[in-house]
Structures are given as structure tokens and as C-alpha cells.
Amino acid sequence: MFTGIVAAMGAVLERGENSGGCRLRVAAGGLDLADVEIGHSIAVNGCCLTVVERGGDSFVADVSKETLRCTTLGTLAPGRRVNLELAMRLGDRLGGHLVSGHVDGMGELLRRESDGDNLRLRFRAPAPLARYIAPKGSICIDGTSLTVNQVDGAEFSVNIIPHTRAETIIGQYREGQQVNLEADLLARYLERLQQGDKERQAANSA
């Protein structure tokens, strides 16, 4: 599990294709790898990846074909900046919201506008994911926990403060690019509970 509070911006150093997908070597930037061991998890642009090698200020992770297909990791090339976060430990402060690191789908940035020192970004989410996005609810974009401002069908907007703009890859976003989206886990659990209630009611009335 993660919090959606990006700890550092790293960069892809190497990408090697293999039969299972690809292997990425990522420069950790300011991410502290001191207690990271083989098998630990690191979120890369919101995708939970397993560390398979570690050396100095970089780490290596394998990415499956499914992950390459379903996330923006398929477009990563050497030199690309990425958001990084270590898996949370029990007792850590939860500064954002609970994030699993399992991307639900890819969204598209439709509009980027300045709002004083802030940025206002408007995205389009995949239709099946849109029902989990609510005004003032949480959304994880490329591993960054953000609050949804407005929702209009499958489109939603967020406000980016200067700190987030400077400390994450969000400041580099351009209109038309794709991003990784993960819906709030609470919204998913609430939907499942409601489905369970409907199923029980249908069973009792049968």
C-alpha cells in the first residue's frame, strides 16, 4: 500500500525488452533506498513494482506485458522522469489517501490552465472508471494523491499547487498525454457493499 505522496522524481536509465515484458532500471533521484531490499515494492508513476535488483542510487524492476498494456509504463523510455514512492509501513503518516498501486485505467489530459500560481488540469477518464470519481473525493494520478474539484460525466478537474507542480512530474504535463489513474479504494468497497445488499435482497425475494 501507498499514500499517494510522491517522495521523489526519478528517471528511467535503461529499458530492456524480454519475453515477459520489459525490465527497467530507474534512478532513484532523492528517494532513500537505504532500507530497500530485493522483493520490496516501489510505486513508479502509481504502478506498484517489485525491486529485483538494487545498486547505489538506482533499482531494477520487471514490468509484465499486462502492465505495459494497461498503464503508461509502456511508453517509458530512457530519460523519462517518473514519480516514486516507497511502500508505506505500519505507523507511517497517511498524508494522502490509501493507494494500492494497481492502476485502474489511463486518462487523458484535455486542458491545462494557469490559475494564479496554481495549475488547473482537466482530464477524461475511461467510462467504467468515471463512476468512482466524485467531487471533493480522492483520485491518484501517476501516483499522486489529488482532490477532485469538479466532475462532468467522464471528465474531471484537479487543482495543482506550486509544491506539487515542482515536486512531481505533473508540472511537465502537456495536453493530450495519457496518465495512470487509480480510483479511491473506498468508492470501490462502497459499490461492492451496495451490490451485496442488492444480491441479498434479490435472493430473499426469490
Number of neighbours of residue 38 by Cβ within 10 angstroms: 11
Percentage, residues of the chain above pLDDT 70: 90
Answer yes or no: are the C-beta atoms of 51 and 60 closer than 8 Å.
yes
CA pair distance 179, 70, nearest whole angstrom:
11
Residue 98 domain-assigned (yes or no): no
Cell 520487471 maps to which residue? 62
Q: How high does pLDDT run on average in the chain? A: 91
Count the residues in the chain: 206
CA pair distance 148, 153, nearest whole angstrom:
13
Answer yes or no: are the C-beta atoms of 87 and 41 closer than 8 Å.
yes
Give the closest residue to 48 by CA, choosing from 93, 94, 84, 96: 84
Cell 503508461 maps to which residue? 72
Please check whether residues 147 and 180 belong to one and the same domain.
yes
pTM: 0.89
User: Is residue 136 very low, low, confident or very high in pLDDT (cuts 50, 70, 90)?
Assistant: very high
Residue 18 sits in a domain whose CATH number is: 2.40.30.20
CA dihedral in degrees (127, 132, 134, 140; nearest 10)? Answer: -100
Q: Longest Cα pair distance anywhere in the chain, in angstroms?
A: 63
Residue 35 domain-assigned (yes or no): yes
Q: What is the pLDDT of residues 140-172, one digit of tens each?
A: 999 999 999 999 999 999 999 999 999 999 999
Please check whether residues 78 and 126 belong to one and the same domain.
no
CA pair distance 41, 132, nearest whole angstrom:
26
Q: What is the pLDDT of residues 176-195, one digit of tens each?
A: 999 999 998 876 667 666 66
Q: What range defines the domain where residue 35 resides? A: 8-86
pLDDT (0 to 100) of residue 193: 66
User: Is residue 202 very low, low, confident or very high in pLDDT (cuts 50, 70, 90)?
Assistant: low
Please check whether residues 169 and 111 belong to one and the same domain.
yes
Percentage, residues of the chain above pLDDT 90: 82
Please check whether residues 140 and 69 belong to one and the same domain.
no
pLDDT (0 to 100) of residue 157: 98
CA pair distance 107, 184, nearest whole angstrom:
15
